[in-house]
Amino acid sequence: MPAEPTIHRAALGAVIALAVASLPAAAQPRSHTATHGYAPFATEHLLPGAALDLGDVDRESPFARVVALTIDDGPDPNDLRILEILRRHGAKATFFCIGGKVMQHRDIALALAASGNEVGSHSQTHPMMTDLPAAQRDRNLGKANAALAGAGIHPAWFRPPYGDFDETVTALAQAHGLQTVLWTVDSQDWKGLGTDAIVQRVTERLAPGAVVLMHSTKPASLQALSRILEDGERKGYRFVTMTEWQEAMRLAVATPLAMLHPSPAK
């Protein structure tokens, strides 16, 4: 399958040229997420480049009682079991897939696409994006989009590997039709934590509008998932895709709690 052509846009080219000329990629400061392991609930850290101002979200609004469950590093055989767990709980998730693995597990990618959940891009080869020259970043994103398109998937979201991004990465992602998103809750399953530790880390940090990071390649996360979903259900949360999460955050801005429950007239 031919890779998606590299995007040539004058304005974007100027941004890339300035970034490369002013600061070597390896010397650029790491993002908050890459440095601290999570993103605060703020647009510049969690949803960089988005028009939605998360600072305006009323997190007491009923619309905000959602959690975006995100599953990275697929497609993976475990994804099929994850889909069954999600189905049993009436929950949704966004699977951030690596383009190179889509080629290896096309049948699983097709199953994800047909499941009613959401599939996003996790790059082609899972690099530290800011360590790459701008042209390589662009090619990496384009190849991932092409691999996903081969499975009938046209992603709207990009999860930078390791949470590593800068303004050039987000600009390139936008040029490829992708909104960059990080996470507010890290399960730390990638550290090799056991099931109980993963459940505790996630459930203690669930909050309105949380974005949870897990990995389908980690068996302990697979075992923890049902318990996390059950805990969230008891607390009144819905588990949704990133697109559903974004719409919920917009509604939580547009419809503050005071409008839903106005004070009685005197």
What is the set of active-site residues?
A: 72, 215
97 burial via Cβ count (<10 Å: 0-12, 13-18, 19+): buried
Considering only CA atoms, which of 105, 60, 100 is closest in space to residue 80?
A: 105
Using DSSP, state whether 100 is helix, strand or coil: helix
Cβ 97 vs Cβ 122: under 8 Å: yes
Considering only CA atoms, which of 238, 222, 191 is closest in space to residue 65?
A: 238
| Phi, psi of 21, rounded to the nearest 5 degrees | -70, -35
Tell me how far apart the alpha carbons of residues 77 and 261 are, in angstroms, rounded to a whole number. 46
Q: What one-character DSSP code corresponds to residue 73?
A: E
Tell me how far apart the alpha carbons of residues 47 and 55 are, in angstroms, rounded to a whole number. 12
Residue 241 Cα distances to 34, 66, 89, angstroms = 23, 10, 14
End-to-end alpha-carbon separation of the chain, Å? 68
